Amino acid sequence: MKIGILGTRGIPNQHGGFEQFAEFVAPALVARGHAVWVYNSSLHPFRADSWKGVSLIRGKDFEDKIGTAGQFLYDLNCILDARKRKFDVILQLGYTSSSVWSRLMPRDAVIVTNMDGLEWKRSKYSRPVQQFLKKAEKWAVAGSDRLIADSKGIQDYLAVKYQKQSTFIAYGATLFTEPDATVPGSYGLSAYGYDMLIARMEPENNIETILKGHQASRSGGKLILIGNHRNKFGSLMKEKYEDQRTLFLGPIYDLTALNNLRHFSRIYFHGHSVGGTNPSLLEAMASQALVMAHDNIFNRSVLEEDAFYFSAPADIQSFLDGQPDKREYQRFLDNNNKKVRECYSWEHITGLLDECLREALRQKGLKGTK
């Protein structure tokens, strides 16, 4: 198959979840005999024309000049280019700014869309933007030949809301098996003497709930927050809560460093509440982190009974005041490692995606080029 992947800022990953998804599955699809192209923003620092066998196409991106509106123009430029490429399949990761142009998608290609989370629920958006995102979601569903849901919760939502079946394909992770106890020290931390969270600094990720609960507790450990805090909400949280126990480290893209920080943490907080299966959660599980997650269907469908849950700051305070010892919950860590190995390995995820794309081609009556 000739596969074009749209909807990311590009690979190698310098941004977020969909970029990470593309970074892993695109080379894996090439290894399976497919020809794969990924669209990269013209602002992406990686300038080569290929990466690990994946061809890269630079789409003109004006986000640095005109802000969010530039995302819409970037997606438009990618779609217009895709019309010339004769792809068998276009894998569209997300729909927020691309579904506006769905009528311009190549008619001779199969359009497979990963629907992401419930974007219109994100509290950072104003009511008019939330209303637009509901329409964008509807356009994406209508303009796609096949839908992918990255969690059971999203799959159920699509079935009820749109009476549309979707293929469940989550993100993936790689088991972390080579911890280096010197890494926490390079950040001024001691092994198992700190708690942490990794997230975009947005209200729906329950950042303030975690901060309030941690600071109200009698825990002597530090809390480190990893993520870009330079937006309005992140700056407010940093100004309001940063102290000797609460450290805002900013974004860290070094996966080895992140895995070690997760591995040697005492508690890993996961506050995401409106997305599907979150890649940072899977990586925490793969790094043998002991997780305390926001109590919602998305997190419970992944962690099941192998985690602690919170809904309010008092839940976190009470839990930390009990002085939890990570060593007492080895069964949680082992069970979560087993889930990653059997359900969320990149090999397994790529296999599901490969079959999904092939089946979408068969259903549309196309054979593909490979």
pLDDT given at position 367 = 54
Residue 178 falls within a domain, yes or no?
no
User: What are the pLDDT digits (tens) for 5-34?
Assistant: 999 999 998 877 899 899 999 999 999 999
Domain of 332, CATH number, reads 3.40.50.2000
Together in a domain, 278 and 161: no
Together in a domain, 188 and 168: no
CB 360 within 8 A of CB 89: yes
pLDDT given at position 108 = 92
Residue 369 falls within a domain, yes or no?
no
Residue 326 falls within a domain, yes or no?
yes
User: Which of 202, 223, 225 lies closest to 214 in space, CA to CA?
Assistant: 223
- Please state, in angstroms and rounded to a whole number, the distance separating the CA atoms of residues 225 and 201: 9
Q: Give me the percent of the chain exceeding a pLDDT of 90.
A: 79
Residue 177 falls within a domain, yes or no?
no
pLDDT given at position 194 = 97
User: What are the pLDDT digits (tens) for 337-346?
Assistant: 999 999 999 9
* Mean of pLDDT over the chain: 93
Question: b/e for 322-353, b at 16 or more Cβ within 10 A?
Answer: eebebeebeebbebbbebbeeebbbebbbebb
pLDDT > 90? residue 119? no
Together in a domain, 193 and 160: no
Secondary structure of 198-247 in HEC code, one letter for each residue: ECCCCHHHCHHHHHHHHHHCCCCCEEEEECCCCCHHHHHHHHHHCCCCEE
262, HSE (Cβ side, Cα atoms, 13 Å): 30
Give the Å distances, CA to CA, from 297 to 6, 276, 363. Answer: 28, 9, 32
What is the arithmetic mean of pLDDT over 346-365? 94
- Please state, in angstroms and rounded to a whole number, the distance separating the CA atoms of residues 333 and 327: 10
**Cβ partners under 8 Å of residue 141, min gap 6:** 113, 115, 147, 158, 162, 164
User: Which of 115, 105, 96, 89 lies closest to 143 in space, CA to CA?
Assistant: 105
pLDDT > 70? residue 369? no
pLDDT > 60? residue 362? yes
Give the Å distances, CA to CA, from 273 to 173, 278, 283, 339. Answer: 20, 10, 17, 21
pLDDT given at position 148 = 96
pLDDT given at position 370 = 47
Sign of CA dihedral 248, 250, 254, 259: positive
pLDDT given at position 129 = 80
Range of the domain at 57: 2-172+345-364
**Considering the entire predicted model, what is its pTM?**
0.86
Together in a domain, 201 and 327: yes
- The C-alpha R_g of the chain, in whole angstroms, comes to 21
Residue 164 falls within a domain, yes or no?
yes
Together in a domain, 152 and 298: no
Together in a domain, 166 and 256: no
Residue 246 falls within a domain, yes or no?
yes
Together in a domain, 45 and 70: yes
pLDDT > 90? residue 315? yes
- Please state, in angstroms and rounded to a whole number, the distance separating the CA atoms of residues 134 and 138: 6
Residue 142 falls within a domain, yes or no?
yes
CB 206 within 8 A of CB 271: yes
pLDDT > 90? residue 215? yes
pLDDT > 90? residue 124? no
Together in a domain, 317 and 349: no
120: confidence class by pLDDT, cuts 50, 70, 90:
low
User: What are the pLDDT digits (tens) for 191-207?
Assistant: 999 999 999 899 989 99
Residue 211 falls within a domain, yes or no?
yes
pLDDT > 60? residue 40? yes
pLDDT given at position 118 = 67
- Please give the tally of structural domains in the chain: 2
pLDDT given at position 364 = 81
Together in a domain, 84 and 207: no
Q: Give me the percent of the chain exceeding a pLDDT of 70.
A: 96
Phi and psi at 194, nearest 5°, equal -145, 155
Together in a domain, 211 and 116: no
107, HSE (Cβ side, Cα atoms, 13 Å): 1
Together in a domain, 155 and 198: no
Together in a domain, 336 and 359: no
